[in-house]
Amino acid sequence: MQQNPSQKYRAFPPVHLPERQWPNRVLTAAPRWCSVDLRDGNQALAVPMNVSQKLELFQTLVKIGFKEIEVGFPSASNTEFAFNRLLIEKGHAPDDVWLQVLVQAREDLIERTVESLIGAKKVIIHMYNSTSPAQRRVVFGKSKDEIKAIAVNGARMIKDRLHRLHGTEVMLQYSPESFSMTEVEYAQEISEAVMDVWQPTPQHKMILNLPDTVEVAMPNVYADQIEWMCRNIKNRDSLIVSLHTHNDRCTGVAATELGMLAGADRVEGTLFGNGERTGNLDLVTVALNLYMHGIHPRLDFSNLSSIIDVYERCTGMTVPPRQPYAGELVFTAFSGSHQDAIKKGLAEWEKKHSTPTTQHPTPNESAHWDVPYLTIDPADIGREYREVIRVNSQSGKGGVAYLLETEFGIELPKDMQREFGPIANDAVDKLGREVSGAELKAMFWQEYVERVSPWQLAGFETDSKNGVVKCRAKLLRCGQPVEFSGEGNGPLAALVHGFTQVGVPRFEITNYSEHALSSGETAAAISYIQIKTAEGQLRWGAGVDTNIELASVKAVLSALNRLE
């Protein structure tokens, strides 16, 4: 790296916009969406999709709710052309879906593109040419006027061929490619020159797409560029201002959201941000960001996992595990404090929504989602609560307790969570990896339920008379038979009394709870018991049996065994 990067690099100059309005605005509605997965996303694949893969992804995009889909670059290859014809001739495109196609401002390419659209119901012809100083100098070697002439001639060539699309509803779109690196005054000049040819009206608008083709500035600069254009372009009411951001500085989502505040009406992007270099805008993220603020995006991601399956199958790409909303790990928590907060938040949410009420909630009793660390309810996008908590060596008692409860119905008392949490973490630390719920249950069973040494139950009977319970216990101690009797005000009190008759140091039961197991053990109950010795030592035990009394006896033996 350069010791003085300013000698090689320079900051992008800001836009002079002293009275900018976008910082004070709030988004209240979803934009128009356009998926460019089948063109921009496909173009960036090492192995581009074939026709059948593009068709499967197209049908998925339609099912999600996209009404504008850039289906390809039909002049680029026979495969792209054939896909257009397949959609049109076989009726795969619903009547309310606009098929968008990309074309450069060249006559042969425009001719082929128009040919590919004959017979379609609704089409968007998207023409572009690059406008930035670097493109003008390095790629084209042309002046501003010469670059503008390319755009104007291309616009005329498209307009002159529209009569061939008789019966087709056509919308025209122009992109000054590399807009974000172009002088805003020149972007305005070239865009208005194209508008002069196409003559949009408020009744028949054209799309002016202002792409952040390569991110070269902070997202607030892009927002200033968009607001400047919206303020200064002529006939703004005849335009649909569109955004198309990339992610070179990892701020594509931010640039889009600020660009929407700045006045844009429409957003182009791809599922999960697939695209050239660092990718396009991730449409899923922007849509669900709106959703978490109570704005319906007018796109359906209620079964996000199935969308991921189609995307990965068709493109050969994978969704990173930390991808917002979609990644495998985004609804997980490894930190113990996070796990505890999530567990409590989910419990509060369940309680609020399981208690019927006849009154409308007051503002202070709002039923809005407010679970710590979870921006949306995973269930809204087809995820399950059991996926929320995962356990590794960094996890705390909350995560351990959550998995045992949600997957196996094992509801550990609070104090027992504090005891078992560190035991589980030590075991996981030795494994050096994340553990599953089943592995966690096995750890619990080994530590508590399966503890049969030195004490093991062989038989237990009780008899009650005049409020006094007498017990007869048959046990094994280190494999040797031990029998004793005891009495008390209940079976467990009688058992504790009986132990004192065979030389076991005095102890008392300080905590007791039990419940039916909801899974894993048919008609079984689990009992949790904490004992305290005369020296103040505390230990928990657990027992499982189809007889709740025997489950409790086993829990006492488990606690005694854990004192050894």
Looking at the predicted structure, is the pLDDT value of residue 395 above 70? no
Can you give the three-state secondary structure of 33-77, one letter per residue? Answer: EEECHHHHHHHCCCCCCCHHHHHHHHHHHHHHCCCEEEEECCCCC
Euclidean distance between CA atoms 304 and 143, whole angstroms: 48
Euclidean distance between CA atoms 131 and 186, whole angstroms: 8
Q: Where are the domains of the chain?
A: 31-311, 336-351+370-447, 455-561
Looking at the predicted structure, is the pLDDT value of residue 233 above 60? yes
With a pLDDT cut of 90, the percent of the chain lying above it is 80
Sign (positive or negative) of CA dihedral 211, 216, 218, 221: negative
Sign (positive or negative) of CA dihedral 361, 363, 366, 368: positive
Contact (CB, 8 A) for 514 and 548 = yes
Looking at the predicted structure, is the pLDDT value of residue 411 above 80? yes
Amino acid 331: pLDDT: 87
Q: What is the mean pLDDT of residues 190-197?
A: 98
Phi-psi category of residue 423: left, alpha or beta, with phi > 0 → left and psi -120 to 50 → alpha: alpha
- CATH code of domain 31-311: 3.20.20.70
Amino acid 353: pLDDT: 84
Structure-token match 């905590």, residue found: 511
Looking at the predicted structure, is the pLDDT value of residue 363 above 60? no
Amino acid 366: pLDDT: 64
Looking at the predicted structure, is the pLDDT value of residue 503 above 60? yes
Phi-psi category of residue 331: left, alpha or beta, with phi > 0 → left and psi -120 to 50 → alpha: alpha
Amino acid 224: pLDDT: 98
Amino acid 338: pLDDT: 84
Strand 455-465 and strand 468-477: pairing? antiparallel
Amino acid 340: pLDDT: 84
The pLDDT-based confidence of 501 (bands split at 50, 70, 90) is: confident
Contact (CB, 8 A) for 154 and 161 = no
| Least confident among 194-203, 236-245, 463-472 | 463-472
Helix ranges restricted to H, 74-218:
78-89, 107-117, 133-134, 144-161, 184-198
Euclidean distance between CA atoms 6 and 552, whole angstroms: 74
End-to-end, the C-alpha distance of the chain in Å comes to 62
Residues 416-445 pLDDT 10s:
998 998 888 888 888 888 888 889 999 999
> What is the pTM (predicted TM-score) of this model?
0.78
Which residues, in sequence order, are bridge partners of residue 130?
Answer: 177
Q: What is the mean pLDDT of residues 376-405?
A: 75
Q: What is the mean pLDDT of residues 123-151?
A: 97
Which residues, in sequence order, are bridge partners of residue 473?
Answer: 460, 484
Helix, strand, coil shares, percent, the chain, to 5: 45, 20, 35
Looking at the predicted structure, is the pLDDT value of residue 365 above 60? no
Q: Look at residues 274, 73, 102 and name the one whose alpha carbon lies nearest to residue 177.
A: 102
Amino acid 520: pLDDT: 53
Amino acid 260: pLDDT: 98
Q: What is the mean pLDDT of residues 352-367?
A: 62
Looking at the predicted structure, is the pLDDT value of residue 394 above 80? no
The helix-helix angle for 397-408 and 437-444 (nearest 10°) equals 100
Q: Give whichever of 129-143, 390-404, 409-423 has the largest mean pLDDT.
A: 129-143
Residues 14-28 pLDDT 10s:
999 999 999 999 999
Domain covering 455-561 assigned CATH 3.30.160.270 in the classification: yes
Residues 451-468 pLDDT 10s:
999 999 999 999 999 989
Looking at the predicted structure, is the pLDDT value of residue 522 above 90? no
Amino acid 332: pLDDT: 82
Euclidean distance between CA atoms 223 and 271, whole angstroms: 23
User: Strand (E) positions, 403-467?
Assistant: 455-465
| Least confident among 183-192, 331-340, 372-381, 393-402 | 393-402
Phi-psi category of residue 16: left, alpha or beta, with phi > 0 → left and psi -120 to 50 → alpha: beta
Q: Phi first, then psi: what are they for 364, rounded to 5°?
A: -75, -15
Q: Which residues of 505-528 are buried (b: 16+ CB within 10 A; e: fewer)?
A: eebebebeebeebeeebeeebbbb
Structure tokens at 436: 């599953």
The pLDDT-based confidence of 535 (bands split at 50, 70, 90) is: very high
Which residues, in sequence order, are bridge partners of residue 543?
Answer: 527
Looking at the predicted structure, is the pLDDT value of residue 514 above 80? yes
Q: Strand, helix or coil at 120?
A: coil
